């Protein structure tokens, strides 16, 4: 997707974010009904929109409009005083509102997956297809809260960070590291409202889970799948970044899901 960056101040959140927009592509591959629905791609924590370059080309080649967003504090988007998960979701939802979208497909990785899940909960009629790639699930009330104080990063976390830096040094450099503590705290605190609102999701939902080195708790996943009205899970033999490390498998799973009427 070789287009210029667009920067906008989102009315809903008042925050300035950057995104890339492929524009409308003419193609006979997508049906007319599906072709009119944009696909919004949202990266994970520490990344930026370029993590989706390869997949964005696959989608646009099939006639779909693609927007790849930089979350607040990432890439070319502005840094913020606050990084609450609801604010990430509001940025994405506000962008849809400002652009006049009444129907979208959302694909999010990790933190981006959590952000787009909030959009699907807040505005169920807006989201047609929802793809959550390795989005860590919040705890439920009563779940034991893990103690991560002072622990060293796991080998998996170190490997992911090191390879991300090698593949996309600009994303790592631009990332506002001040959000890290806040994000980890939010992921490790019970969030009863998120669990209650899973039943509000109207979108057909596809959850992608990595292998044993992924970040999706299988116990919580089972509960989430049961709560979302139309949901399926696909597992992959890799870690946290499926679209990066198993691109062909990711593409062969997600493209048909997005292209289906």
Which token pair is 56? 């964005």
What integer pLDDT is reported at residue 154 of this predicted model? 47
Which alpha helices (DSSP H) does 146-232 contain, by range?
155-167, 169-174, 180-187, 192-196, 218-227
3-state secondary structure of 172: helix
pLDDT tens digits, residue range 112-143? 999 999 999 999 999 999 999 999 999 999 88
- CATH no. for 5-143+157-259: 3.40.50.1820
pLDDT tens digits, residue range 155-208? 554 455 555 555 666 677 789 999 999 998 898 899 999 999 999 999 999 999
For residue 249, how many C-alpha atoms fall within 13 Å in the half-sphere facing its CB? 15
Q: Judge whether residue 145 has pLDDT over 90.
A: no
Residue 116 host element (H or E): helix 111-122
Measure the CA–CA gap between 130 and 113, rounded to whole angstroms: 9
Lowest-pLDDT choice from 7-16, 18-27, 58-67, 107-116: 18-27
What integer pLDDT is reported at residue 24 of this predicted model? 75
Phi-psi region of 186 (alpha: psi -120 to 50; beta: other; left: phi over 0): alpha
pLDDT band at 2 (very low <50, low <70, confident <90, very high): low
Q: Judge whether residue 49 has pLDDT over 80.
A: yes
Contacts of 94 (CB under 8 A, 6+ apart): 10, 11, 12, 13
The percentage of the chain sitting over the pLDDT mark of 70, rounded to a whole number, equals: 85
Q: E strands within the chain?
A: 5-9, 16-21, 39-42, 66-70, 104-109, 127-133, 204-209, 231-235
The percentage of the chain sitting over the pLDDT mark of 90, rounded to a whole number, equals: 75
Calculate mean pLDDT across residues 93-115. Answer: 98
Contacts of 25 (CB under 8 A, 6+ apart): 60, 61, 63, 64, 65
């Amino acid at each position: 997707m070789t287009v210029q960056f667009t920067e906008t101040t989102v009315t809903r959140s008042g925050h300035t974010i950057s995104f890339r927009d492929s524009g409308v592509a003419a193609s006979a591959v997508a049906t007319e009904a599906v072709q009119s629905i944009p696909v919004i791609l949202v990266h994970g924590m520490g990344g930026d929109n370029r993590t989706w370059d390869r997949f964005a080309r696959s989608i646009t080649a099939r006639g779909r409009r693609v927007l790849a967003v930089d979350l607040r504090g990432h890439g070319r988007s502005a840094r913020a005083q606050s990084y609450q998960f609801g604010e990430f979701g509001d940025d994405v939802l506000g962008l849809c509102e400002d652009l006049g979208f009444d129907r979208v497909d959302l694909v999010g990785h990790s933190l981006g997956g959590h952000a787009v899940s909030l959009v699907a909960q807040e505005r169920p009629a807006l989201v047609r297809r929802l793809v959550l790639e390795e989005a860590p699930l919040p705890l439920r009330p009563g779940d034991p809260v893990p103690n991560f104080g002072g622990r060293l990063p796991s080998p998996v976390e170190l490997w992911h960070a090191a390879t991300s830096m090698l593949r996309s040094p600009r994303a790592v450099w631009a990332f506002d590291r001040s959000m890290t503590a806040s994000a980890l705290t939010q992921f490790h605190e019970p969030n009863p409202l998120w669990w209650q609102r899973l039943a509000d999701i109207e979108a057909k939902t596809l959850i992608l889970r990595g292998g044993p080195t992924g970040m999706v708790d299988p116990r919580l996943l089972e509960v989430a799948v049961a709560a979302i009205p139309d949901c399926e899970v696909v597992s992959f033999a890799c870690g946290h970044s499926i679209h990066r490390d198993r691109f062909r498998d990711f593409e062969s799973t997600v493209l048909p899901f997005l292209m289906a009427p």
